[in-house]
A and B are shown apart, each in its own frame.
Chain A
Amino acid sequence: MGSILVVDDSASIRNMVSFALKQAGHQVTEAENGQDGLKKAQAGRFDLVLTDVNMPLMDGITFCGELRKLTPFKFTPILMLTTESSDNMKQKGKTAGATGWLVKPFNPEKLLSTIQRVVR
């Protein structure tokens, strides 16, 4: 069971993701955008970060890059929740240091099975 940071500006997606994660026994912290996420990331320790790409104030790509610069997050898995299945977006994410991606729309089952690849 891990401690997971969920960053998404859409409350419904955020609620759904954190509900599913909590059901699976994880600790969840929510953030509304990259800036918020960065603040919360610095205040805690996380085994996994899930982040949306398109967000106000700070987007997911920038957030990911900033997060990787922080020593405690050097190896932390960061998954992008993205609607863009295009390689371009995946590439941008990878360049910024993302571990992997999960393409929206996804259901809770898919989410849980996917994060098993990085968190046990």
Chain B
Amino acid sequence: MSIELSQFISTFLEESYEGLDIMESGLLNFNSSDEEAINTIFRAAHSIKGGAGTFGFNEVADFTHDVETLLDEMRSNKQESTPALVNLLLESTDCIRALLEAAQDGPEVDAQMISQVQKRLKEVLGIETESIAVEVEGSSAQGMPAQDSDTAWSVHFIPNSNLLQSGHEPLFMFDALSELGELEIEVTTDILPVLSSFKPEEVYLSWKLLLISECSEEDIKEVFEWVEDECDLNICVSQVTSKPEVDADAGSGWAIRFTPDVGIIQTGNDPSLMFAALFELGDAVVTPNFDKLPQINDLSADLVYLSWEIKLTSTCTKEEVLEIFEWVEDDCELDVTKLPSVSKTAVNHSNTPSAVPPTTTSNAPSSVPNDKQKAVDTGAKPKGKSSAANAKKSTEASSIRVDTEKVDSLINRVGELVITQAMLGQVGADISEITAGPEVERLQTGLELLERNTRDLQEDVMRVRMLPISFVFNRFPRLVHDVSGKLGKKVELVLSGEQTEIDKTVMEKIGDPMTHLIRNSLDHGLETPEERLAAGKSEIGKVELSAYHQGGHIIIDIIDDGRGLNTQKIFDKACEKGLINKDQQLSDQEINELVFKAGFSTADEVTDLSGRGVGMDVVRRNIESLGGQVSIKSEANKGSTFSVKLPLTLAILEGQLVRVHEDTYIIPLVSIVETILATNSAINSIAGESKLLHFREDYISLLNLKNIFKLNTDPQADEMESNLIAIVESGGKKVGLIVDELYGQQQVVIKSLEVNFKRVEGLSGATILGDGSVALILDVAGLMQRGQAFELEAAVKEA
């Protein structure tokens, strides 16, 4: 059966990114005395490595291996957890992330960065890259067929019978020899006494060893160095040069003596299953030995009293045989020796003392107590019932992962439902106006219920898209750590309201502007430790991120306790840049707002931190494109607060319905400053079609929507202009929109114009009203641009 692994990869990637986040936040709050914290970091790295290996991300697995090793050394105090090491580990998480992203069709990795970090990891771990290469070569050479330079050493080892009493163990010596090369062992049992005179502490065996290795005679002698006085040792170059496996004929096999510890089945290992595995390697004759079987009354179902001798006829390697016993090698005595040929097997067999004649078993379980245990076990197992219970258990889960497309489609559907519901509501209202009766009342009740349920449904569905803002906040501890390090400032970051929920789309788009605002606070807002001390503050600056809900909006405050905005400097700069006039009288608040103007930067030199060629004007524009606002409060030497106000979702908008000519338009409520009925004297016409409104010591330009959208069919009607003006604001600029009538305010579901029609400058979308008619939603920023272009056009025409 082949199983496609690719289906698990997206889960692996997701959990790896989560793991990286865990590592990162753990490292940022690193405290070497917190054992659980470092264990958590270690586990995350460990899981990434394991998954990466399993799903074929070998580069990730290799890289993470060193990270894991370092973490392991840190948690076992083999490495001191210095800030430098923590930084190295942070860089490593970046590398792992980059490798994962690259594997996921992301940008190509910076191979130099990876290898550089990897080299540093290896240096810390004391691994030399060169020595690894050599090691790999060495170990692979071991597995390869004998080279020409190999010598076949014949070693005849006849220990004295008291060898064991001096603490020596021939098996260990053979182990050491097998490390030198390919080892074949043949045991000679000629002097084995009859059982009655057998002394367990004495050695009756001798061995003929064939070692194929590059080693010298001295190397072999060294293995036997400590026993050379207690044995006869004969080492010579053998005439046999080829490996035993190579010339092994089909009839050869293995003699296996298997004496398990009595408690073996309590480790879950079942000898009969091991034999079954042996049968898969070839023909096997299993001979049980009942010598240690106690009286029936003393028999315990938990214990194994048997031992076995198995003759396996197979061309398999010794490793394949040993693998079957791999898990019990410490729980048994196991002796596997080569049977050179079938005929020799028979001879050997006749030499072994065996009380019971060999029985050829194909598959039958051969352990009596074990069978008994099995029977007891299955008897107690209500299989059908347990599996049903298991199936039920496995369906339990606290959360599910769903494709965002599915959620979006659901939200869209609900949006349609809201519109249909509004239409029905309108019809219901119309009907109740012309007629009355119990049916109409019932219809009204039903419609009210429908409305309530629809709203609830809409709210619930919207909530599905909502995620805690911590997803954005989580990236900032790292940012603050890195940036403050570069600036040489000491900064404490305080997060609050991380659980405040916000729409996923808004969240994805708010990350960059937030990053910019925080960089700005760190770079321009906070002072250096020296400056802070001189100003009588703690040398550690504080940046606070706080999120909370406020009337259908989410507010994110970025508060620093730095020097505050320098109004004089801002004023001078703005004059210099020609943004304002020198003799303009501005309040401090108005001056502060200037930092959001395009082309404004007070930094004496553009640092690579907050500079980056992006001004605060771009931040404001990005936030406004999300239907949000950004404002600023500042007090000299106390600090500044940037407040970002965002809609909870982009799918619904609070709108003011207005009539222009014969059509209904929607102005986003968030951009309306106020609506006024202006007196004729307040409106001044200037060159061309442009009009200005004198509004509270200020002049703001007026935009006639009729002209902009070319709604005017009758040029004469232009004279009869409405004085109803909605003053809207965007990008710190105000304009007045001339409208004919104000309707109500309502929540509207936004339908994209781009998707359903095409992009239109000045419009952000459309919605369907209760009566089924379409209303266009105005995009204030776009309107301003369109208005400017329109005026320019008109001015050119005039000229």
Contact = CB atoms under 8 A, between A and B. Distances in A.
B82 interface: no
Nearest to A119: B273
B386 A12 contact: no
Contact of B3 (A13, A19, A44, A97): A19
Given A10-B15, A120-B273, A77 B268 contact: yes
A28 B389 CA distance: 11
B377 A12 contact: no
| A23, A52, A99 interface centre (most CB from chain B within 10 Å) | A99
A27 interface: yes
Contact of B373 (A9, A75, A116): A75
B455 interface: no
B1 A44 contact: no
Interface string A23-45: 11001111000000000100111
B327 A44 contact: no
B94 interface: no
Contact of B8 (A16, A29, A83): A16
Interface residues of B, number: 51
Interface string A88-120: 000100100111110011111100100011101
Given A74-B302, A108-B3, A117-B324, A3 B53 contact: no
A107 B381 CA distance: 31
Nearest to A40: B393
B53 A12 contact: no
B687 interface: no
Given A10-B47, A11-B11, A16 B54 contact: yes
B276 A29 contact: no
A78 interface: yes
Interface string A41-59: 0011100000010111000
A25 to B, nearest CB: 10
A43 B393 CA distance: 9
B197 interface: no
A19 B5 CA distance: 10
| A15, A20, A75, A101 interface centre (most CB from chain B within 10 Å) | A75
Contact of B273 (A20, A76, A117): A117
Given A74-B266, A118-B273, A13 B51 contact: yes
B46 interface: yes
A112 B276 contact: no
Contact of A3 (B5, B266, B267, B383): B383
B386 A3 contact: yes
Contacts of A112: 1
Interface string B264-286: 01111110011011000000000
A30 B397 CA distance: 10
Nearest to A120: B273
A56 B40 contact: yes
Interface of A: 3, 9-13, 15-16, 18-20, 23-24, 27-30, 40, 43-45, 52, 54-56, 68, 72, 74-78, 83, 91, 94, 97-101, 104-109, 112, 116-118, 120
Given A13-B50, A56-B40, A107-B3, 16 more contacts: A10-B51, A12-B9, A12-B12, A12-B54, A13-B47, A16-B55, A19-B8, A23-B1, A28-B390, A44-B390, A45-B383, A75-B377, A77-B270, A94-B267, A98-B268, A104-B50
- Nearest 7 CB-CB pairings of A with B: A100-B327, A105-B53, A77-B268, A99-B268, A12-B12, A105-B54, A108-B3
